[in-house]
Amino acid sequence: MKLKSFKTFFGLLIFSLVSFPLQGDEKIDIWKNKKDKTKISNQKETKPIKNSEKINLDKVFNSEISNNIKIENNLIDSSKGSNVFGVYDPEKFNFDLNMWSATNAEDLRASLKRISKIKLSKTSEEILENVLLSISYPPEGMNEKEFANLKINWLIDNNRFDLIEDFLKQNKEFNGKDKAVQYLVDTNISQANIKEGCEKIKFIDSTIKDPYLEKFKIYCLVFDNKNVQAQLLLDLLREQKQSDKFFDDKINYLLGISDKTSEIINEKNLLNFYLSSVTTKDFNYTPTKKTRREIWNYLNAANLIKLDDINDKQKIKELEIAANLDQIDTKIIFDIYKQIPFNLNTLINAKNVYQTLDESDARSLIYQKFLLSEDNNSKVEYLFMLEDLFKKDQLLNIYSNVLSDNLKQIGSENIPDKYKEVVERKISINEEAKLGKVKYNDKILHQSKIIKFYLEDEEQKKIQKDIDKIFKKINKNKKYFYSAKDLALVEALTKDGFKIPEYFKVKDFVAKYEVPKNLLQLIENNQSAFLALKIVEIIGEDEPHQLDPETIYFITNLLNETDLIKLRNKVLISALPKRV
């Protein structure tokens, strides 16, 4: 039903008078317009800036962003376009709006492609995030649409739900916005907890307008029995021609306006699929290889993945493939394995008969045999037999964590000697490394109390006293060898304004270490952002403390030279202290 203009106005007037907090007296951020709480520092009141003028500063610096960004020569280069996108104030990490200006677009693309193939450590990922999401112009040869899309793709690929929400709040219009909004909505739906999903979605700024988001808001109102508000928003969406027959049919059915609804399962998007599942009696859906990941996630979370026939080998195989692709929880596969029936004789002679069975049956038999084993020697043996079976069918992704977890559960002290070496290699370190408490050692410069300045925010005056005292103490030790880590600390202290004793000849020590010329060239070319990306590649999957001292030195040296002090401190905090 299409509203006429007067009806639209009248409906909106009524809607504005309705008390529509979703719960109690909470404010609804979704529909209520907010005024910016802050303005750009020192900005004078002027007429609205037209698109043809240099840049709309409100788009660059909105209320969520620090207003201390320095613009070189007080000018913004309008030739690069009027829109820049990101989350972080570039000055926060000592970058600026032109941080990519001297970098070729193809170099950035190639670097990010290489980085995407690395399982980054926590420090590496933090540096990448800080660089990539700082507000800036795109590099030479890349338009703003591609640059914004590149950032959004990274956020989605890395499941950064919180940062995507920030990106949407701070960047009103950009290429890839619809994809970002749909990701937020789908993430909420895919967890099969709609109540919590509707709560989360309230925090999306009311100025973010997107048909997919508006549809989810309408469903949330229906879910919370706010039918009047839901009907008004649906009418408005129809008036704007942003609804569709499928959505209208489902909401009308849920509102009780119609008593019938189509039982066609719509897979166009996750919201449509979800609405199909909650409005179809005896909902039954069989996913395939072509089923999208978000639908698999929802099916998994909603416990809608069922195996009606335990003897359906084809269905089991499809589920194994899905689990190998991380589309469903691997626990489902092992629960199926436990259900496959074997007679007592087959279980007793599992080692001799498993190779004669179907692939999934063979894995099921060996897994059951492992569960029934009592001694550690047999358990470990069956675990590795099972690994070979998964590897044979290229399904090792299902099993790698299961193998690791079970070996950990058995305990290294209980592993038979003949397996100890291989077990040490197999146990994966999936948990985030706990750095532990710092143990200061004043006999070693880079482990001394001096590093409290970086670890505990110790006041500068006290640190200077420690520098004088500890250098004097170490200087008395004629056998002391100043390491590359010591030099990294000394250069950082000097950069941060501390005084190093004159008898410590920094230049003599620097001469021993050579910083790669190609990286120094990036500094000369004013490519600090690209240099930071290169450092991400160098650190890679390691934490800085796992790198050799020479690498730690030249990384901190480069970050000092480019004034990237906060990034340098991330490296120092990991690399220098001894922890227990």
Interval 446-473: pLDDT, tens: 999 999 999 988 788 999 999 999 999 9
- Predicted confidence at residue 417, as pLDDT, reads 78
Q: Stretch 430-452: mean pLDDT, rounded? A: 79
For residue 5, pLDDT over 50 is answered with: no
Q: Considering only 57-66, 368-377, 392-401, which range has the smallest mean pLDDT? A: 57-66
Question: What sign does the CA torsion over 229, 232, 235, 237 have?
Answer: negative
Residue 480: pLDDT above 70? yes
Neighbours of 475 (CB within 10 A): 12
Looking at every residue in the chain, the average pLDDT score rounds to: 82
d(CA 552, CA 1): 67
8 Å CB contact between 57 and 97: no
Instruction: Look at residues 507, 505, 575, 508 and name the one whose alpha carbon lies nearest to residue 538.
Output: 575
> Could you tell me if 368 and 407 are in contact, meaning their C-beta atoms sit under 8 angstroms apart?
no
Q: What is the reported pLDDT for 219? A: 94
Average the pLDDT over 85-105 and give the result: 94
- The amino acid sitting at 125 is E
Please list, in sequence order, all residues whose beta carbon lies within 8 angstroms of the beta carbon of residue 50, skipping any fewer than 6 positions away: none
pLDDT of residue 427: 62
Residue 289 has pLDDT above 80, yes or no: no
Burial grade of 70 (CB within 10 A; 0-12, 13-18, 19 or more)? exposed
- Look at strands 438-439 and 578-579 and give their pairing: antiparallel
What local confidence, expressed as pLDDT, does residue 46 receive?
33
High-pLDDT (> 90) share of the chain, %: 49
Structure tokens at 518: 């190609």
Please state the rounded mean pLDDT for residues 88-115: 95
Assigned token pair, 272: 């449509």
Whether the pTM exceeds 0.75: the reply is: no
Give the CA distances from residue 25 to residues 20, 203, 457, 462, in Å, rounded to whole numbers and listed in that order.
9, 15, 42, 51
- Cβ atoms < 10 Å from Cβ of 2: 9
- In the chain, DSSP finds a helix count (H) and a strand count (E) of 29, 2
Do 438 and 579 meet the contact criterion of CB atoms below 8 Å apart?
yes
pLDDT recorded at residue 415: 83
pLDDT reading at 8 higher than 80: no
pLDDT at 139: 93
Q: Which residue has the higher pLDDT, 414 or 550?
A: 550
| Residue located via tokens 């056998």 | 479
Nearest-Å Rg of the Cα atoms of the chain is 30
Whether residue 38 has pLDDT greater than 60: no
> Would you state the pLDDT for residue 431?
38
Confidence of residue 110 (pLDDT cuts 50, 70, 90): very high
Q: What is the pLDDT of residue 86?
A: 92
Q: Which one has a higher pLDDT value, 297 or 449?
A: 449
- What pLDDT is recorded for position 203? 63
CA torsion sign, 222 to 224 to 225 to 230?
A: negative
Among the ranges 40-54, 240-254, 336-350, which has the highest mean pLDDT value?
240-254
In whole angstroms, give the CA distance from residue 513 to residue 36.
51
Contact 554, 516 (CB under 8 A): yes
Segment 528-564, tens digit of pLDDT: 999 999 999 999 999 999 999 999 999 999 999 999 9
- Residue 9: pLDDT band (50, 70, 90) is very low
Confidence bin at 149 (pLDDT 50/70/90):
very high
**Which residue has tokens 């005292």?**
469
Res. 196 pLDDT band, cuts 50 70 90: confident
